C-alpha cells in the first residue's frame, strides 16, 4: 500500500512541460536513490523508515509485527486487515542507495534516539518526507503503466479525459509537489541547518511498547500559497514504558500547523492517546503494532480500528468517535 491517497492534491498550477519532465525522470528514478539532487545513479535498497534494530526490537515478537495490509480476494475484491509482517520487511521502502542511507541516517540508526537533538529530530522527519515521495512516485509510475495497458487493450481511448488517466495525472502532480517540498529538507540537510525544520515533541506513557509510526500527511482543508500544509509524524517507542512523538514542519507552515496540533500537545494521558490514535488512523498508513498489544484487543476493537482506517482511505478524514480507537 502506498500512502498517496492520504496526501491531498496540490492546488499550485504546474506547467505541463515541467510536470512531464519530472514524470519522465520519475519513471526512471523511483527505484533509484532519493538523496539530495536525485543525481545518484545507484539503485535504491530496502531500508527501514522506522529503525529496525532499536525501535522494532521493542515491538516485534518472533521476528514479526502487525500491520494493516492489502490482499485481493477473488470473490470480494480488495481486503484490508491486520496481518503479521516480518520485521525485516515492515516499514521498508526503496528510497536510498545503501551508501546514502547509511551516511544520511547514521546519527539515528547507530545511536539511541534523542528528542533533544536537533539532528535526530530532523532526520526522523526527513525520512518520513522521503518515504512519502517514494510512495507517490511509485504509484504514479504504476498507474500510468496500467493506463497505457488499458489503451493497448482497447479499454480506454487515450485521447480524452478518462478515470485511470486522470488518476495517473493526479499522482504525477502529487509527486512533483512533494518533491518540491522535500527540496527544502534537502537544502537543510546539505547545510546541516537542522533547525530549519521545526519540531514539537510529546511523550506517551504505556505499559508496553505498542505502536511505531513514520509518515507525512497534509492538513485537510488547510492551504498556504496554494499548496497543502504538511506535517511529518514519527511515533518511536523508547522503552516498554514510554514512546516519543515527533511532529516536524516547515517554519512557513507554523501558523497553520500549531493550532492543528495544539489539542494533542496540550492534552494529557488517555485523551492525548485517543487524539493521537485518531490522527494516525485518519492520516497515516505507515505504522505497525506490537503483536502482544494486538492480542489484547478484543475483536470488536480490532474491527473498529480496521473499519475506521478503511473508511478514511475511501472517504478522507472522518470525525467519528469510538471508545475502541485507542492504539496506545
pLDDT digits (tens, 9 = 90+) for 67-92: 999 877 667 667 889 999 999 999 99
Q: What pLDDT does 15 receive? A: 57
Ranges of beta strands (E only) in the chain are 45-48, 64-73, 77-86, 92-96, 198-205, 211-224, 227-237, 242-249, 287-289
6 lies in some domain? no
Q: d(Cα 326, Cα 324) in Å, to the nearest integer?
A: 6
Which one of 133, 164, 195 terminates a domain?
Answer: 195
Coil/strand/helix, residue 140: helix
Q: What pLDDT does 191 receive? A: 98
pLDDT tens by residue, 189-242: 999 999 999 999 999 999 999 999 999 999 987 888 888 899 999 999 999 999
Q: d(Cα 83, Cα 147) in Å, to the nearest integer?
A: 30
5 lies in some domain? no
Query: 170, 135, 71, 77: which is closest to 285 by C-alpha?
Result: 135
269 lies in some domain? yes
Coil/strand/helix, residue 97: coil
For the cut 90, the answer to whether the pLDDT of residue 129 exceeds it is yes
Query: 186 falls in which pLDDT band (50, 70, 90)?
Result: very high
pLDDT tens by residue, 262-318: 999 999 999 999 999 999 999 999 999 999 999 999 999 999 999 999 988 877 666
Which one of 168, 195, 222 terminates a domain?
Answer: 195
Q: d(Cα 62, Cα 84) in Å, to the nearest integer?
A: 10
Q: What pLDDT does 77 receive? A: 67
3 lies in some domain? no
Do 225 and 157 share a structural domain? no
Bridge-partner residues for 47, per DSSP?
Answer: 93
Do 182 and 220 share a structural domain? no
Do 264 and 204 share a structural domain? yes
Q: Average pLDDT for residues 143-172, to the nearest whole number? A: 82
113 lies in some domain? yes
Q: How many domains does the chain have?
A: 2
Following CA atoms 270, 254, 212, 93 in sequence, which dihedral angle do they give, to the nearest 10 degrees? 160
Q: What pLDDT does 300 receive? A: 97
Q: d(Cα 201, Cα 211) in Å, to the nearest integer?
A: 16
pLDDT tens by residue, 302-325: 999 999 999 888 776 667 899 999
Do 227 and 97 share a structural domain? no
Q: What pLDDT does 220 receive? A: 82
298 lies in some domain? yes
2 lies in some domain? no
Give the three cell numbers for residue 191.
Answer: 547545510
Q: What pLDDT does 241 receive? A: 95
Number of Cβ atoms within 10 Å of the Cβ of 19:
15
123 lies in some domain? yes
Query: 162 falls in which pLDDT band (50, 70, 90)?
Result: confident
Q: What pLDDT does 29 receive? A: 46
Mean pLDDT for the chain overall: 87
What residue has cell string 505541463?
16
Question: What is this structure's pTM?
Answer: 0.87
Do 148 and 24 share a structural domain? yes
Q: d(Cα 73, Cα 131) in Å, to the nearest integer?
A: 28
For the cut 60, the answer to whether the pLDDT of residue 135 exceeds it is yes
Q: What pLDDT does 16 receive? A: 57
Give the three cell numbers for residue 257.
Answer: 500547523
Do 125 and 202 share a structural domain? no
Q: What pLDDT does 30 receive? A: 63
Q: What pLDDT does 146 receive? A: 78
Do 126 and 57 share a structural domain? no
Residues of the domain holding 166: 13-48+93-195
Are the CB atoms for 293 and 208 separated by under 8 Å? yes
Do 114 and 69 share a structural domain? no
Which one of 156, 177, 195 terminates a domain?
Answer: 195
pLDDT tens by residue, 241-253: 999 999 999 999 9
Q: What pLDDT does 137 receive? A: 87
For the cut 90, the answer to whether the pLDDT of residue 157 exceeds it is no
Q: What pLDDT does 20 receive? A: 56
Do 321 and 221 share a structural domain? yes
Who has greater pLDDT, 28 or 171? Answer: 171
Q: What pLDDT does 246 receive? A: 98
Do 269 and 142 share a structural domain? no
For the cut 50, the answer to whether the pLDDT of residue 10 exceeds it is no
What residue has cell string 507552515?
253
Give the three cell numbers for residue 174.
Answer: 502529487
Do 285 and 215 share a structural domain? yes
For the cut 50, the answer to whether the pLDDT of residue 9 exceeds it is no
pLDDT tens by residue, 17-39: 555 554 454 444 467 899 999 89
Query: Could you give the count of Cα atoms lying within 13 Å of 51 in the half-sphere of its Cβ?
Result: 23
Q: What pLDDT does 17 receive? A: 57
Q: What pLDDT does 11 receive? A: 45
What residue has cell string 523511483?
30
Do 264 and 125 share a structural domain? no
Q: What pLDDT does 127 receive? A: 97
Q: What pLDDT does 5 receive? A: 40
Q: d(Cα 290, Cα 240) in Å, to the nearest integer?
A: 11
Q: Average pLDDT for residues 129-148, to the nearest whole number? A: 86
Amino acid at each position: 500500500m502506498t500512502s498517496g491517497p492520504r496526501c491531498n492534491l496540490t492546488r499550485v498550477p504546474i506547467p505541463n512541460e515541467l510536470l512531464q519532465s519530472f514524470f519522465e525522470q520519475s519513471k526512471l528514478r523511483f527505484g533509484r536513490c532519493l538523496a539530495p539532487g536525485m543525481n545518484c545513479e545507484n539503485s535504491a535498497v530496502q531500508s527501514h523508515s522506522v529503525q529496525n534494530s532499536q525501535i522494532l526490537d521493542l515491538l516485534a515478537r518472533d521476528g514479526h509485527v502487525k500491520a494493516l495490509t492489502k490482499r485481493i480476494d477473488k470473490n470480494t475484491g480488495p481486503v484490508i486487515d491486520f496481518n503479521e509482517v516480518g520485521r525485516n520487511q515492515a516499514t521498508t521502502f526503496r528510497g536510498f542507495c545503501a551508501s546514502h542511507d547509511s551516511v544520511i541516517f547514521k546519527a539515528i540508526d547507530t545511536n539511541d534516539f534523542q528528542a533533544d537533538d536537533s539532528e535526530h529530530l530532523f532526520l526522523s522527519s526527513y525520512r518520513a518526507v522521503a518515504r512519502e515521495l517514494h510512495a507517490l512516485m511509485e504509484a504514479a509510475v504504476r498507474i500510468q503503466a496500467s493506463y497505457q495497458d488499458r489503451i493497448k487493450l482497447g479499454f480506454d481511448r487515450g485521447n480524452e479525459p478518462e478515470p485511470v488517466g486522470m488518476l495517473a495525472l493526479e499522482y504525477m502532480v502529487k509527486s512533483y509537489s512533494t518533491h518540491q517540498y522535500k527540496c527544502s529538507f534537502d537544502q537543510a540537510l546539505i547545510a546541516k541547518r537542522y533547525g530549519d525544520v521545526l519540531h514539537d515533541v510529546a511523550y506517551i506513557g504505556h505499559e508496553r511498547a505498542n505502536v511505531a509510526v513514520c509518515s507525512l500527511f497534509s492538513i485537510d482543508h488547510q492551504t498556504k500559497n496554494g499548496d497543502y500544509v504538511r506535517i511529518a509524524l514519527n511515533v518511536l517507542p523508547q522503552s516498554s514504558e514510554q514512546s516519543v512523538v515527533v511532529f516536524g514542519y516547515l517554519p512557513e507552515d507554523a501558523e497553520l500547523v500549531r493550532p492543528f496540533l495544539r489539542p494533542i500537545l496540550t492534552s494529557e494521558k488517555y485523551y492525548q492517546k485517543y487524539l493521537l490514535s485518531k490522527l494516525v488512523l485518519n492520516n497515516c498508513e505507515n505504522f505497525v503494532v506490537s503483536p502482544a498489544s494486538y492480542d489484547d484487543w478484543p475483536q470488536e476493537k480490532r474491527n473498529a480500528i480496521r473499519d475506521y482506517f478503511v473508511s478514511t482511505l475511501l472517504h478522507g478524514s472522518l470525525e467519528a468517535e469510538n471508545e475502541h480507537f485507542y492504539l496506545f
